């Protein structure tokens, strides 16, 4: 026998055992599920080289279902063992599972089609067995090693997650057992970790550990103080009750009626295609859920067929776990760099030892701001948990304090811009430091350029990250307007730039000279002015000059513009640097009124100059108009030189009354103020040029 092999297996078994202990007993794993599975697979491959009866194989930690019970909890022998499930992944494996079942049941083709499945989400928490006698909870236990678990009855009672007395109208028999998962919602986990941090107590790596740690407390009052949840996924009843409940889904419905929380998101009585659809939908919805799932559990619906199929050594034949890649993994925080964004925000970014999370290789993760680093207690050199849910940008969840090396360093926020060395500022109520050098900071210039060229802004195809960086680095673009002065010879000096590409890019740049007003406003990158606001501003103000001169009050009248946005726009148009950029840019572009915007079209027919009927008039709007929204009508009147106020007085020149006009109309009538209806208003805005008085009192 190969001594090295024996030695290696011994070492790996010890290692696996240690990780089992960390996971099950300490609720503080040092490996992600994927990494643990990998370790287990490697060990299994090594062990398979030994004789089946070799003592190292017989005593292997791979045979452990869960873990021995924790000191301090009474041990309970499960009436029915708590098993685990075989794992599968990929569509083909689901079909194989169905085929295997059909084969075992001696069903062929058409007959196999009649098999029905139930699919539940696979909750990532701690399994519980709850035993009820005469409708009352008398025993609650964790899974433990599958045969013996820990008595957590007191804690389950304290946590108030399941009925202590079930709804009497539902007959589940004199003795029954409910199986399910106790877990913590993501939102409650975030709150708990923040509180623990404040109290300088242990934080948890993920909601699963937090739930397990909270349930396995020797002091029930601690459990009671944590917000835990429970979903039931199984029911074991006595002989007397076998008849009425024939399927898994019927059992879950009965449990729900008896008062147990059952997850709404599940698939009942499905054919294999329904199962596959449910898996796809669940994976898509996974990031939106407020709790962690690591897959789904597919079960045969019929309880009679379940019984017929029976069990393998540690797993049932009638059910499997379909697993997705873990959304969380452990890795090393190698460093923290600071990036400067378009608005000057200085964002710390974690540089990570590459790790696969949710099926994707992650090397960086945003840390948002300085406060976040302190709150999560992240040190450079730490081992950290990284999380990536769906398309969400990866984030560092927590550090593993126990694994902090002695040479770990705290992160220090730079006190000058890491790119231009200019000063940083942080407004009192904000969490983010900003470089205030604007476009004179090259990082901001690159980002401003990329934003300007964006598909939904000036739409200059081909102007990507690397090109923007080079244009700025080479000093070719100091101002956005410099783009329009670039020549083929300039571009040919750049990396990987040939004549064909250069000409194409120049063509794109020239093409962007004719831009709609909305795109141009968006392209300026005014803080808080996104694409929609930019379009709204374009249609509301009609031309650039008017927008640039607008007061805070006027800006706030535009749709969805509140004080913060108005202030940001105003300050943009008052900053000498941006005015200079604008002056240069306006010489290069030819702004087009965007005729696709309905309210702008209306606005344009009305910009008829100073002879307007509304010039200098005070107007009050009341009721609803069918052709214009209130904001649009107001904008029209203002664009014709009128003033719109909120209440009717003797100084009001006209009241424009739409449908369902209320007390303002009454007041206008009582004060003898001229009232115009919508049709008069419409004819007025078309005849303003002739300056005749279309209204009479």
Contact residues for ligand IVH (CB under 6 A)?
A: 83-85, 120, 122-123, 127, 143, 181, 233-234, 297, 316, 319, 321
The smaller minimum CB distance to ligand IVH, of residues 123 and 189, is found at 123
Task: Output the six-digit token pair for 10.
Answer: 């011994």
Q: How many CB atoms lie within 10 A of CB 142?
A: 27
- Residue-wise DSSP of 26-54: SS--SS-HHHHHHHHHHHHHHHTTS-TT-
Strand partners for 328: 387
Of 70, 122, 376, 680, catalytic? 122
Query: Residue 474, by phi and psi: left (phi above 0), alpha (psi -120 to 50) or beta?
Result: alpha
The smaller minimum CB distance to ligand IVH, of residues 181 and 382, is found at 181
Smallest gap from Cβ 79 to ligand IVH, in A, equals: 14
Smallest gap from Cβ 70 to ligand IVH, in A, equals: 17
Rounded Cα distance, 84 and 294, in Å:
14
The smaller minimum CB distance to ligand IVH, of residues 179 and 546, is found at 179
Smallest gap from Cβ 599 to ligand IVH, in A, equals: 52
The smaller minimum CB distance to ligand IVH, of residues 122 and 434, is found at 122
Q: Which helix (H) or strand (E) holds 667?
A: helix 663-671
Beta-carbon contacts of 489 under 8 Å, excluding residues fewer than 6 positions away, are none
The smaller minimum CB distance to ligand IVH, of residues 323 and 602, is found at 323
Smallest gap from Cβ 91 to ligand IVH, in A, equals: 20
Task: Output the six-digit token pair for 355.
Answer: 């790790």
Does residue 122 have an active-site annotation? Answer: yes
The smaller minimum CB distance to ligand IVH, of residues 181 and 536, is found at 181
Q: Which helix (H) or strand (E) holds 506?
A: helix 499-511
Query: Residue 317 in contact with residue 101, Cβ under 8 Å?
Result: yes
To 5 degrees, how large is the angle CA 462–CA 466–CA 467? 50
What is the chain's Cα-based Rg?
34
The smaller minimum CB distance to ligand IVH, of residues 37 and 653, is found at 37
Question: Could you tell me how many residues make up the chain?
Answer: 697
Smallest gap from Cβ 202 to ligand IVH, in A, equals: 24
Rounded Cα distance, 126 and 206, in Å:
13
| Residue whose Cβ sits closest to ligand IVH | 127
Smallest gap from Cβ 127 to ligand IVH, in A, equals: 3
Q: On the CB side of 151, how many CA atoms lie within 13 Å of its CA?
A: 10
Report long-range pairs for 540-543 (Cβ below 8 Å, ≥24 apart). Answer: 540/599, 540/603, 540/631, 540/635, 541/635, 542/593, 542/600, 542/603, 542/604, 542/607, 542/635, 542/639, 543/517, 543/591, 543/593, 543/607
Eight-state DSSP code of residue 620? E
Q: Give which of 605, 631, 591, 618 is closest to 687, Cα–Cα.
A: 605
Query: Residue 378 in contact with residue 396, Cβ under 8 Å?
Result: yes
Smallest gap from Cβ 425 to ligand IVH, in A, equals: 49
Smallest gap from Cβ 84 to ligand IVH, in A, equals: 4
The smaller minimum CB distance to ligand IVH, of residues 38 and 683, is found at 38
Task: Output the six-digit token pair for 204.
Answer: 């948890």
Query: Residue 416 in contact with residue 311, Cβ under 8 Å?
Result: no
- Residue-wise DSSP of 238-296: -GGGTTT--BHHHHHHHHHHHT----S-EEEEE-HHHHHHHHHHHHHHGGGSSS-EEEE
- Rounded to whole angstroms, the maximal C-alpha distance in the chain is 112
The smaller minimum CB distance to ligand IVH, of residues 9 and 258, is found at 258
CA 196 to chain centroid, in Å, comes to 24
Question: Any idea of the CA torsion for 303, 306, 308, 311, to the nearest 10 degrees?
Answer: -140
Smallest gap from Cβ 297 to ligand IVH, in A, equals: 4
Eight-state DSSP code of residue 324? P
Query: Residue 513 in contact with residue 520, Cβ under 8 Å?
Result: no
The smaller minimum CB distance to ligand IVH, of residues 262 and 555, is found at 262
The smaller minimum CB distance to ligand IVH, of residues 292 and 382, is found at 292
Q: What are phi and psi of 613, to 5 degrees?
A: -60, -30
Smallest gap from Cβ 15 to ligand IVH, in A, equals: 22
Rounded Cα distance, 576 and 572, in Å:
9
Smallest gap from Cβ 237 to ligand IVH, in A, equals: 16
Rounded Cα distance, 556 and 551, in Å:
9
Residues classed as catalytic: 122
């Amino acid at each position: 026998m190969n001594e090295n092999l024996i030695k290696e297996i011994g070492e790996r078994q010890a290692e696996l055992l240690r990780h089992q202990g960390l996971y099950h007993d300490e609720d503080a794993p040092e490996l992600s599920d994927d990494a643990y599975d990998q370790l287990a697979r490697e060990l299994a491959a090594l062990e398979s080289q030994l004789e089946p009866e070799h003592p190292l194989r017989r005593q292997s930690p791979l045979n452990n279902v869960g873990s021995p019970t924790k000191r301090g909890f009474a041990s309970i022998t499960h009436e029915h063992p708590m098993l685990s499930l075989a794992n599968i992944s990929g569509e083909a494996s689901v079909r194989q599972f169905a085929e295997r079942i059909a084969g075992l049941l001696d069903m062929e083709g058409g007959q196999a089609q009649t098999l029905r499945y139930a699919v539940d989400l696979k909750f990532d928490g701690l399994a519980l067995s709850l035993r009820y006698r005469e409708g009352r909870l008398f025993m609650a236990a964790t899974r433990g090693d599958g045969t013996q678990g820990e008595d957590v009855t007191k804690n389950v009672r304290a946590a108030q997650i399941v009925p202590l007395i079930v709804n009497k109208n539902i007959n589940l028999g004199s003795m029954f057992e409910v199986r399910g998962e106790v877990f913590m919602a993501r939102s409650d986990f975030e709150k708990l970790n923040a509180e623990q941090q404040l109290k300088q107590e242990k934080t948890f790596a993920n909601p699963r550990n937090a739930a397990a740690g909270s349930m396995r407390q020797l002091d029930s009052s601690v459990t009671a103080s944590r917000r835990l949840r429970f979903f039931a996924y199984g029911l074991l009843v006595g002989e007397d009750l076998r008849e009425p409940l024939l399927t898994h889904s019927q059992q879950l419905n009965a449990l729900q009626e008896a008062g147990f929380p059952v997850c709404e998101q599940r698939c009942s009585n499905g054919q294999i295609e329904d199962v596959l659809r449910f898996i796809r939908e669940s994976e898509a919805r996974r990031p939106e859920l407020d709790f962690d799932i690591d897959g789904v559990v597919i079960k045969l619906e019929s309880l009679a067929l379940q019984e017929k199929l029976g069990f393998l050594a540690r797993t049932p034949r009638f059910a499997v776990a379909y697993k997705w890649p873990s959304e969380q993994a452990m890795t090393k925080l190698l460093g923290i760099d600071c990036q400067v964004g378009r608005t000057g925000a200085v964002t710390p970014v974690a540089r990570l030892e590459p790790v696969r999370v949710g099926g994707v290789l992650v090397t960086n993760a945003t840390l948002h701001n300085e406060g976040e680093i302190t709150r999560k207690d992240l040190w450079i050199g730490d081992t950290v948990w990284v999380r990536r849910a769906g398309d969400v940008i990866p984030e560092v969840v927590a550090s593993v304090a126990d694994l902090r090396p002695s040479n770990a360093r705290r992160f220090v926020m730079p006190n000058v811009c890491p790119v231009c060395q200019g000063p940083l500022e942080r407004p009192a109520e904000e969490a983010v430091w900003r470089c205030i050098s604007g476009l004179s900071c090259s990082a901001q210039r690159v980002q401003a350029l990329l934003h300007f060229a964006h598909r939904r802004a000036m739409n200059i195809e081909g102007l990507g990250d690397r090109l923007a960086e080079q244009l700025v680095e080479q000093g070719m673009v100091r101002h956005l307007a410099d783009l329009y002065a670039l020549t083929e010879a300039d571009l040919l000096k750049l990396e990987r730039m040939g004549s064909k590409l250069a000409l194409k890019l120049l063509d794109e740049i020239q093409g962007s000279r004719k831009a709609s007003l909305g795109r141009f406003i968006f392209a300026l990158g005014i803080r808080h002015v996104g694409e929609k606001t930019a379009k709204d501003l374009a249609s509301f103000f009609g031309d650039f000059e008017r927008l640039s001169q607008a007061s805070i009050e006027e800006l706030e009248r535009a749709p969805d513009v509140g004080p913060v946005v108005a202030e940001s726009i105003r300050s943009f148009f008052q900053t000498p640097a941006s005015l200079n950029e604008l002056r240069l840019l306006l010489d290069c572009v030819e702004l087009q009124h965007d005729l696709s915007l309905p309210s702008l079209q209306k606005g344009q027919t009305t910009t008829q100059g100073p002879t307007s009927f509304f010039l200098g008039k005070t107007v009050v709007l009341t009721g609803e108009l069918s052709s214009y929204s209130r904001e649009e009508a107001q904008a029209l009147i203002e664009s014709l030189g009128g003033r719109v106020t909120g209440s009717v007085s003797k100084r009001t020149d006209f009241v424009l009354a739409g449908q369902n006009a209320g007390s303002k109309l009454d007041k206008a009538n009582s004060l003898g103020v001229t009232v115009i209806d919508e049709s008069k208003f419409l004819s007025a805005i078309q005849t303003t040029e002739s300056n005749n008085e279309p209204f009479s009192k």
